[in-house]
Structure 1
Amino acid sequence: MTTRNILIIGILVVIGLAVMYTLTASDNEEVYVENIQKERERQFKYLKFNIDSPLTADQKRDLNKLDYYSIDPKYKVRARMVPVEDRKMVELPMTDGTVEKYLKHSFAEFELDGQKHMLLLLQAAKESDKRNFFLAFADATSGIDTYGGGRYINLRQDGKNSITIDFNLAYNPYCAYNPDFACPLPPKENIMEIALEAGEKDYKKE
């Protein structure tokens, strides 16, 4: 991944975290849905118009919308953070065959539809804020309704041993729009058998 790619991701992380603060602070479902919609609109405008967008000029011209599942508050879950016993750096494979280093930090344990789940939380090697985490996952929708290479969520620890995961905020890696970008693939711990029908769907050029 180039320095430019890292810079773009860093900018999105900062913006995304600000949105997350707003979303987690509100218990009003109408306000919650409105905030999700605003974030989706911001994401579209960034890809379509921003000078730092990963899209080429031709790709920006062809981008008319992003496709999402309907917003469902049940996909916003509270997870318990369980530290990884042997916390170490691991190399995640990238879509271009290279690797990117991340710290295996914690497992997020949560319930969804009465079932218990566990996902691995990662931290980028150069992450300065130790409350920020990166979640890359794939599920039963991957390669069908959603991007085959999985989806991402940027997370911020909001409790001593807990974190909020909102799958309505799941977004596509840049390589879903521009194959020239290299994107990390989800670790094996985050390949889920259930269908997470929340967040962004696969990008299909019209």
Structure 2
Amino acid sequence: MKKITLILSLFLMISCNSQDKRPLIGETEYQQKLNASYKDASKSPLKKKDLKDFKGLDFFPVDSSFIVTAKLIKTENAPTFEMATTTDRKPLYKEYGILKFSLKGKNLQLTIYQSQDDLRDEKYKDYLFLPFTDNTSGEESYGGGRYMDVLTTDEKSDGTIVLNFNNTYNPYCAYNDRYSCPLTPRKNHLDIEIKAGVKVFEKH
């Protein structure tokens, strides 16, 4: 009888622990990691009232047609400039190059940038900044546009880079106005609906 009681006790302990460690919400590893970071109060951009009821970000369905191969044309001798933001802050950037690609039968291009501050940070020195707006901006997606992280190490030997629009995210300003976020340059508007990646955040 004692043996049975012990087994039942162990089973209950394991059940309780497995309930505490609920699976992360998200269709892909990217979505799960993003949701996990937003759920973490120590690094989440969410306001306390939004964090309290946070279950997970709202994403468009994952769609492989929004994974494209782009040709990177690097910008030679690009000048350093001050990027406009939602505040008075003016971070320094350089135009890294032009990305040309086809999506849904349209020939499109985006300008990709390199933060001069990130170059001095070992953790982020390989990161490039790709902001864009599209025809869902202000409706199904955040009006200020969305961002995509691209790494210099992503570039292949033939000068191409794979862009996955399913792995796009909102600037922190979409969740909390205390942040200062780079504004998407007008030339980075895509005249197409990018129904991939994160959707607009419905604040409580």
With structure 2 as the length reference, what TM-score do the two structures score?
A: 0.77
Separation in 2 of the partners of 1:148 and 1:50? 25
The alpha carbon displacement at 1:64 in A equals 2.5
Give the number of equivalent residue pairs: 172
Separation in 1 of the partners of 2:126 and 2:73? 14
Aligned runs of 1:86-165 on 2, under 5 Å?
86-128=77-119, 131-156=126-151, 157-160=154-157, 161-165=159-163
CA contact (8 A) 1:67 1:200 kept: yes
The alpha carbon displacement at 1:205 in A equals 2.2
Structure richer in helix, relative to its length: 1
The alpha carbon displacement at 1:187 in A equals 1.4
Write the deviation string for residues 115-135 of structure 1: whole angstroms up to 9, x where unpaired: 111100101112336643110
The alpha carbon displacement at 1:172 in A equals 0.6
CA contact (8 A) 1:36 1:168 kept: no
- Worse-matched range after superposition: 184-193 or 174-183: 184-193
Alpha-carbon distance change, 101 to 36 in structure 1, aligned in 2, over 3 angstroms: farther
Q: Residue 75 of structure 2 corresponds to which residue in structure 1?
A: 84
- Worse-matched range after superposition: 59-68 or 175-184: 59-68
The 3-state SS of whatever aligns with 1:99 is coil
With structure 1 as the length reference, what TM-score do the two structures score?
A: 0.77
Separation in 1 of the partners of 2:88 and 2:27? 34
- Structure with bigger gyration radius: 2
The answer to whether 1:200 aligns with 2:195 is no
Runs ≥4 residues deviating over 6 A: none
Q: Percent identity, aligned pairs only?
A: 31
User: Structure 1, unaligned stretches of length 5 or more?
Assistant: 1-34
Q: Residue 168 of structure 1 corresponds to which residue in structure 2?
A: 166
The alpha carbon displacement at 1:164 in A equals 1.1
The 3-state SS of whatever aligns with 1:108 is strand
Question: What is the root-mean-square deviation of aligned Cα atoms in Å?
Answer: 1.9
Separation in 2 of the partners of 1:126 and 1:97? 17
Separation in 2 of the partners of 1:79 and 1:130? 22
